[in-house]
Amino acid sequence: MSLIELPYDPDVERETSPIFERVAHVIPRVEWPLHAPYVAAINRLKRERNAVILAHNYQVPEIYHTVADIVGDSLALAMQAAQTDADVIVLCGVHFMAETAKLVNPGKTVLVPDLQAGCSLADSITAHDVRLLRERYPGVPVVTYVNTSAEVKAESDVCVTSGNAVKIVEALGAPRVIFLPDEYLAKYVASRTNVEIIAWKGHCEVHERFTGAQLRAYRADDPTLRILAHPECPPDVLAEADYVGSTQGMIDDVGTHRAARVLLITECSMADNVSGTFPDVAFVRPCNLCPHMKRSTLPKILHSLEHLEHEVTVDPSVAERARAAVERMLAYSR
Ligand code: 13P
Ligand code: SF4
């Protein structure tokens, strides 16, 4: 893919200056001439193509704050994808998120700026693994985190996100469930319900690197610190947190508590993006970077819209069953 550099001319400066005013506290002025030509071109092309950009909370600020139409956690993106009347959806996130958008929008064009944007959790389990688990635990419902391939979703009874996992596991009314593939999210759900959880050994390569000792050291330094952690973190990390929840749950917690200093135990762009919304909160950032989320860039988004690449499709032999698992989740979330 050849990505051309666009010039920052007076027209672009004029057109994008209101956008820059909104993001000046998160994007340094010196960087704006690099981003602005892409921001202007992307926003123009979006209108021409009747396209919408859905961006996960881990996208870089120049995507999150300037070209995204909808931002949110995995649940919000799935719900909004199901509701959009745009012809084209550009999913700035990772591949499983785009597949989910395609499942609920089979007739629309769903694009990802970079096809390599994967996820260590999605890579940790195959459809064959799920079939073997079903043989081993006959009759036990299979609850699958959305961070999975469409093939794995197709073998599942219902999908969940970190934002609704506890609620859906409880709502199933079963004494035990198979919960795939994130071991730590499974343990977190098990700690919040009486339902017996059979887990898999998948891990998020970003969140598994945090440690409880790290959090205790920050807390010792500042006992007033409010610590928010994503449930993909190991149990000793979650034990130290004041709040555990999805990326959107963390943002909501920042807004509700308005703590002076907040420690975000998650991916690096979260603090940049949230501080755009809450400039009065000081974020402590022992963050870990998700290399997959960072594959989306403004030049690649422009390329996507210009060439309608890279289109995400789902094999029809799995799409119907995978869609059913996602639709069941969305029905629980309405
Ligand atoms: P959220 O659904 O909480 O946004 O999480 C998605 C994800 O990939 C976290 O690593
Ligand atoms: Fe996957 Fe972890 Fe990256 Fe989220 S942060 S996309 S779970 S690797």
Of 90, 46, 48, 86, nearest to 71 by C-alpha is 90
Looking at the chain, the whole-number percentage of residues with pLDDT higher than 70 is 99
| Residue 10, H or E segment | helix 10-23
Contact, 236 vs 211, CB < 8 A? yes
How far apart (Å, rounded) are the C-alpha atoms in residues 140 and 151?
A: 19
**Is the Cβ atom of 161 under 6 angstroms away from ligand 1?**
yes
Probe target for ligand 1 pocket from 80, 247, 288, with the most ligand atoms within 8 Å of CB: 247
- Which of these ranges, 1-15, 97-111, 136-150, has the smallest mean pLDDT? 1-15
Fold of 207-284: Rossmann fold (3.40.50)
Phi, psi of 222 (to 5 degrees): -145, 95
Report whether pLDDT(279) > 80. Answer: yes
| pLDDT surpasses 60 at 2 | no
| Per-residue pLDDT at 334 | 77
Residue from 75, 77, 162 to probe ligand 1 pocket by mutation (most atoms less than 8 Å from CB): 162
Ligand 1 atom with the smallest distance to the CA of 204 is 10
Nearest protein Cα to ligand 2, atom 6? 119
- How would residue 3 be classed by pLDDT, with cut points 50, 70 and 90? low
Q: Would you identify the CATH topology of the domain 10-119+293-307?
A: Rossmann fold (3.40.50)
Q: What is the pLDDT of residue 285?
A: 86
Give the Å distance between the CA of 9 and the centre of ligand 2.
37
Q: What is the mean pLDDT of residues 283-303?
A: 96
Q: Considering the chain, what is the average pLDDT of its residues?
A: 96
- Where does 143-258 have alpha helices with state H? 150-154, 165-171, 183-191, 212-221, 235-238, 247-257
Nearest 10 degrees: CA dihedral of 217, 220, 222, 227?
60
Write the burial class of residue 213 (CB in 10 Å: 0-12 exposed, 13-18 middle, 19+ buried): exposed
At 5, the pLDDT band (50, 70, 90 cuts) reads confident
Residue nearest to atom 1 of ligand 2 (CA): 119
The pair of three-digit structure tokens given for residue 62, joined into one six-digit string? 């120049």
Whole-angstrom distance, CA of residue 185 vs CA of residue 68: 28
Q: How remote is the CA of residue 72 from the centroid of ligand 1, in Å? A: 9
The Cα-based distances of 6 to 38, 40, 112, 113, 133 in angstroms read 7, 10, 21, 18, 52
Pocket lining: 204 vs ligand 1, CB cutoff 6 Å = yes
Q: Using one digit for the tens of pLDDT, what is the confidence trace for 195-244? A: 999 999 999 999 999 999 999 999 999 999 999 999 999 999 999 999 99
Identical fold for domains 122-202 and 207-284, yes or no, is: yes
Residue nearest to atom 8 of ligand 2 (CA): 119
Q: Taking the domains of the chain in order of start, what are their residue ranges?
A: 10-119+293-307, 122-202, 207-284
CATH of 122-202, one of 3.40.50.1000, 3.50.50.60, 3.40.50.10800, 3.20.20.70: 3.40.50.10800
